[in-house]
Amino acid sequence: MDLKETSKAVRTLIDILGRGPCPRATEKQKPCMCAEDDRELTAAEKRKGWSQRPFFAYDPDRMCPTCAAYWHAAMAGLALDRAVRLEAMENAEKENRR
């Protein structure tokens, strides 16, 4: 399986994991992703100038296993997408050198 195929497989996993509801979500408790989005910024995050926590900075240890799996898959998907783009650029450079 090459990088493109792996990236596509991870995207499929992200889609599947994203379809399910957060098991922690109730009328009184927000889904994990909403809770992370709404969580107050730490002092370190404020020093970075963030007005809102970016998705990559969410804390999967605060999430239920289902939401943590989704977050980890999404982060892997982003990394694989970057790797695919870099591989394509490297291949184009090799072709230009010939």
pLDDT tens per residue, range 4-58: 999 999 999 999 999 989 999 999 999 999 999 999 999 999 999 999 999 999 9
Ramachandran quadrant class, 26 (left: phi over 0; alpha: psi -120 to 50; beta: rest): beta
- Residue 95: φ, ψ to 5°: -65, -40
Q: Which domain holds residue 20?
A: 3-97
Domain count, the chain: 1
Q: Compute the distance between CA of residue 23 and CA of residue 91 in angstroms, rounded to an integer.
A: 44
Which pLDDT does position 20 carry in this prediction?
87
At 78, is the pLDDT very low, low, confident or very high (cuts 50, 70, 90)? Answer: very high
Give the HSE-up count for residue 13: Cα atoms under 13 Å, Cβ half-sphere. 18
